[in-house]
Structure 1
Amino acid sequence: MSIFLERYSLLLILLFCMGLMEPQLAAKISLVDTDLDVQIAEISSGSILKQVLWGGLFLFFLAKHCLNTRLISEGQRFQLALLLLLVICLVFFISALWSSYPAVSIKRTIFQLIFVFTVMSATLYSYQHGLIGRNIKYAAYSAFFMLAVTVVLGTAFHPSGDMVGYAKGKNALGMNMLCLVLMLTLFYKSVNEKVKNASYLIAIALVVLLLSQSKTSMFILLLFALLTLLPSFSLRLVMASLFVLFVTLFIIFPSYMHYFGSMDTLLGVVSDETLTGRGFIWNTLYYDLHYFDKFGLGYGYGSYFGVPELPYFFDNRFSFLRFISSTHNGYLDMLLHVGTVLSLCVMCVFFKLANYIKDKYFFAALILPVVHNFTESSVVKDDSMVWFFMIFIISYSCIKGDFNAKNRLAG
C-alpha cells in the first residue's frame, strides 16, 4: 500500500481535483446554479471523501518525510518553495484574528496547508519513481472514460449545445481539458519522461475543449501557444508585466482610490455588464470593502462567501447576487481575504515562486493561473484544478532543479 501511494497518489489527487471521484451526472443550467452548488458545498464543510482522502494522504506523506528526512533535506529549491507556500498559509492563519468567523478561517487555512504539502509531496515521490507522466496519462484515460459514460447516459451536453460531461459546467470541463493539454504538452516537449500516446491524448482533450465551448480556456490555450514562440527573456518580461498589470488593476488601484481618491471614479471604470455580469459583482465587492472600511485587513481568509450569513450587499432577494458565492476574480478575492498590504505580500511570494521555473514551456504554462485568476477565483482556492496545476509545475520545476544541481555536484 505504501509503494502504491508513493507512485500513484498524484493520480488520486488529479482524479479528485478534476471532479472524477464525485462526478456530476445531472444537467447543469447556468452560472447561478453553479455558484449555488458551491455555496451549499462550502456550508456543508465538504464531503467525507474529501476529508478522508486529503487527511489520509497528508498523514501518509508526513510520516514518509519523518522516516526519510534525506529526500526532502537534499532539495533546497523544493524546501524554499514549500516554505514560501506555507508562509501564505501563515498569513491566512493570522487573518483569523480579525475574522468574524475565525473557526471558518482556521479550518479553510488548515485545508490549504494540507493541500499544498500533499500536492508537493505527491509530485516529489512520483518524480522519484519516474511515474509523473503515467499518472497524468491515467488521469486522461479516466476523464475520457467518464465523458463516454455521460454520452451514453445522455447527459454529456447542455441543451444549448455546450459539452459539460461529468463536470458542474462547461467552464469546469474546459479547464480540466486545458490542464490535461498543458500537462501532456509539457511532458511531450520539455521532459525526458515521455508519455506514450501523448499526441493522441492531447488531440482528444482538444476536441472536448472545443465541444465545451469554454472561451476562457480556449483563449488561455492560444496565449500559451503564442508565448512559447517568444525568446526566454521576452517570455518572462511579458508574463511579469501581465501579472503586475492584474495586481495593479484589482488590488493597488482600488486601494489607492479608497484612501486617496473617489470610489465613484473606481466604480465607473468597469461597467456592470463586463464579462457576463462580473463587472456588477466586482463593483459591489469594491463598494462593500469601501463602505465597511475593509481595505486595510479584509474580512479574514474564507470569511466572506460560504459562511452562514450572506454578505450585506448580496442579501437582496430581488437580485441574482444572493446566489453568488465567488468574487469571480482571484486578485479581488485576495483583497477580500487579507486586505491591501498582506495581499501584496502574497503576490510577491507568487512572483518569487515563479522564478524557480527555468524551463521555457513550464514558465509559459503560468499563463493559466495568471489569466484564469482574472475571470475566476482559482488560486489559493480550495482544491481547484488551476491551484493544483500551479503548485504542480512549481514543485516539478524545483525538484528538477535540485536533481540537476545534485548531478552537477556529483559530476
Structure 2
Amino acid sequence: MASMSDFSPLQKAIVVLVVLGGTETIRTFAGAAAERSLMLALLIPMVAITVLYTRHLVRTSLAVPELIVLHVFAVVSVSWSVAPHLTLIRALPLLVTSCFMLTIASMFSMRQVLLLLGAIATCTALASLLAVALIPSARGTPPWDTVWRGVFNHKNALGSSSSFGLLLAAGAALVSQGQGRLRKFLILGALLNAYLLLVSESRTSQITTIFGFGLLGVTLVTRRKLASAAIILLVVTLTTMVVYSAFSNGWLDPVFAMVGRKPTLSGRIPLWEVTWPFVKLRPWLGWGYLAFWDPESTRVMAISQSPAIWYVPFYSHNGLIETLLNVGVVGLMLLALLLTRVFGGILGILGTTADRRELVVFFAFILCFLLHNATESSILERDGIMWMQFTLITAKLGLVAKASSRQGPALAPAPSLRRAGA
C-alpha cells in the first residue's frame, strides 16, 4: 500500500495479521465454513515471528510478568473448566495472539508501536467500509437491519473498534510529522473511524470516545507531573461517582427516554443481577476460560428463562463479571497487578518526558478500555482486536517504565520507523 511505504515488509505483515486475526473479516468475505481453516493459517506466521524473535518475548515477559501469567492461567484453566474442550480450543489461539503482541512490543519503539496501531485502525475501517459496500449482511442484521456492523459480528463491536480506532489513528497522525503520505493515510483513518462510530449507533462507544478525547486534551496541555496524575485520576473518579449516582437515583431516566433506551442499559443491569450468583458459586478460579456461556448448559438456560431476560445470552456485557467467570479472583488480581504496575510506572514519567504524546495516547487508551468494559467485555477476548491492542500497549508501557527506572526519566528519541528497538 503506497500510503504505508514508510513501513518495512515485517511491519506491513503485522498490520495484515492483526486486522485479519482481530476482526471477522475472513468470516464476512469468505464465510463461516472457510473461517476456521483460514484463522488457523493466520496463527502460523504469528507463531513463526514469535519464535524467531523469542528474546523479545522474554524481555517483555520480564517487564510485565502479570500479563504473560494471566494468559497462561487462561490456558491452565482447562484443568478445572466445566467445558474443557471449549476452553482448550479457545485459550490456545488467545495465547498465540497475545505472545505475538508481546513480541511486537519489544521489537519496536513507542512511536513505531503507535504508528502500527494507527495503520491497523485505518485498515480495519477500510475493511468495514468495503464489507458494507459488497456484503449485504454487513449493512445490518436482525434486529438491527439498518445499522452497520462492518467486519464485526455486531454493531457494538463496530462501534468499539471505531472508537478506539479513532483515538489511535488520530494519535498516530499527531506523531507522524515528516511522513506526509503516511500522515494523510492516518488522518483518513481517523475520519473513517469517526464516521463508522456515528453510523454504528453504539452509544457506549460514543460516550467512551468523548471521555477519551477529553482526557487526551487535558493531559496534553498539562505540564507538571503531579498535576497530570491528579487531573487524570480526578476525572476518572468523578465520572464513576456521577454515573453511579445517576443510575442509582434515576436521574438519567428522562435522558434514556429521549434516546429510546431503558434505564436498564438495554437489559444489561438485569443480566448482571441474574449472572452474579454464578460468579459467587466459583469465585476463586472461575468456570474456565470461555466455558461458562455454553448455550446448552443448564446455567445458561436458567439465566435465559429469567423473567427479566428471556433470551439466550452469550456474554455478560461487563468486563469484571466476564473476567471472574473466566479466571476468577486469581485472574482478576493478575489484571489488577498489571494495571498497578503500568499506571505506577507511567505516572512516574508522564510529566518528565520531553515529548509525551505517545504516552498520553496510550494512557488514554487504557483508561477508555476500562471504561468501555463497564458495559461491554473485551478483557481476555479471543481473536478480539481490542484485547490485542490492549496487550500491545500495556506491554510497551511496561517496557518503557522499566527502562525509565533504570536510565532515569528522560527517554531517548525513537529510532527511524524501519528500525526495531525498545
Tell me if structure 2 keeps the 8 A contact 1:316–1:322.
yes
The equivalent residue for 2:100 is 118
Residue 60 (structure 1) aligns with = 49
1:17–1:115 distance in 2 versus 1, CA, 3 Å: same
Rate the CA distance shift 1:365–1:309 in 2: closer, same or farther, 3 A. same
Is the contact between residue 175 and residue 385 of structure 1 (CA under 8 Å) also seen in structure 2? no
Residue in 1 that maps onto 2:289: 301
Q: What is aligned with 1:274?
A: 264
Residue 329 of structure 1, CA deviation = 0.7
Paired letter, 1:385: I
* Structure 1, unaligned runs of 5 or more: 27-40, 250-271
Of 161-170 and 279-288, the range deviating more from structure 2: 161-170
- Specify whether residues 227 and 338 from structure 1 end up closer, same or farther in structure 2 by C-alpha distance, changes over 3 A only: same
1:20 aligns with 2:25: yes
CA spacing shift, 1:115–1:355, aligned 2, 3 Å: farther
Match of 1:334 in 2: 323
Question: In the TM superposition, what whole-angstrom CA distance separates every residue of 1:328-347 from its partner, at most 9, and x where no partner exists?
Answer: 11101122223335533432
1:82-97 equivalences under 5 Å are 82-97=64-79
SS at match of 1:382: coil
Partner of 2:277: 287
How far 1:400 sits from its partner (Å)? 5.2
- Residue 387 of structure 2 is matched in structure 1 by 387
Shift of 1:131: 7.9
2:37 matches 1:48: yes
Asked if the contact 1:24/1:167 (under 8 Å) is kept, the reply is: no
How far 1:373 sits from its partner (Å)?
Answer: 1.1
Match of 2:253 in 1: none
The verdict on how the C-alpha distance between 1:227 and 1:217 changes in structure 2, with shifts beyond 3 A counting, is same
* Pairing 1:154-233 to 2, within 5 Å after superposition: 157-158=139-140, 161-190=146-175, 195-197=182-184, 198-228=186-216, 229-230=218-219, 231=222, 232-233=228-229
- Residue 343 (structure 1) aligned with residue 348 (structure 2): no
Code of the aligned partner of 1:343: L
> Could you tell me whether the CA contact under 8 Å between 1:185 and 1:202 is conserved in 2?
yes
Q: Choose which of 90, 93, 115 in structure 2 pairs with 1:108.
A: 90
Instruction: Give the letter for the 2:23 counterpart.
Output: M
Indicate if the aligned counterparts of 2:94 and 2:382 stay in contact, CA closer than 8 A: yes
1:371-410 equivalences in 2 (<5 Å): 371-398=371-398
Could you report, residue by residue, the CA deviation over 1:277-324 in whole angstroms, capped at 9, with x for unpaired residues?
11121111113344xx32344322222114753525236499865521
CA RMSD of aligned residues (A): 4.0
Whole-Å Cα distance in 1 between the matches of residues 87 and 360 of structure 2?
37
Question: CA shift at 1:215, angstroms?
Answer: 0.9
Report whether the alignment pairs 1:8 with 2:13.
yes
Deviation of 1:110 (Å): 2.9
Q: What is the TM-score of this pair, normalised by structure 1? A: 0.72
Which residue in the other structure is 1:259 paired with?
A: none
Of 207-216 and 347-356, deviating more is 347-356
TM-score by length of 2: 0.71
> What do the CA deviations read for 1:46-98 (whole angstroms, capped 9, x no partner)?
71222221243123321332xxx4x566x5xx343452211112433454443
1:118 to partner: Cα distance = 0.7
Give the AA of the match of 2:25.
Answer: L
- Rounded to whole Å, the distance in 2 between the matches of 1:182 and 1:15 is 20
Could you tell me how far apart the structure 2 residues matched to 1:79 and 1:147 are?
37
Give 1:155 shift: 5.1
CA distance in 2, matches of 1:224, 1:320: 32
- 2-structure distance, mates of 1:393, 1:354: 12
| Shift in CA distance, 410/279, structure 1 to aligned 2, threshold 3 Å | closer
Structure 1's consecutive aligned runs of 4 or more residues displaced over 6 angstroms after TM superposition are: 242-245, 402-411
- Equivalent residues of 2:91, 2:289 under 8 A apart: yes
In 2, distance between residues paired with 1:190 and 1:396? 17
Secondary structure in 2 matching 1:276: coil
Alpha-carbon distance, 1:325 to partner:
0.9
CA 1:150–1:193 in 2, change beyond 3 Å: closer, same or farther?
same
Structure 1 residue 365 corresponds to structure 2 residue 371: no
For 1:303 and 1:402, how far apart are their aligned partners in 2?
Answer: 35
1:179 deviation in Å? 2.3
- Give the Cα separation in 2 of the matches to 1:135 and 1:340: 31
Distance, in Å, in 1 between the alignment partners of 2:411 and 2:332 is 39
Query: What is the identity, as a one-letter code, of the residue corresponding to 2:269?
Result: G
User: Are 2:312 and 1:323 equivalent residues in the alignment?
Assistant: yes
Q: How many angstroms apart in 2 are the aligned matches of 1:189 and 1:366?
A: 18
CA distance in 2 between partners of 1:243 and 1:56 (Å)? 42
Query: Unaligned 5+ residue runs, structure 2?
Result: 1-7, 223-227, 246-261, 351-358, 414-422
The 3-state SS of whatever aligns with 1:286 is helix
User: Which residue matches 2:233?
Assistant: 237
| SS state at 1:22 partner | helix
Question: What is the aligned length?
Answer: 360
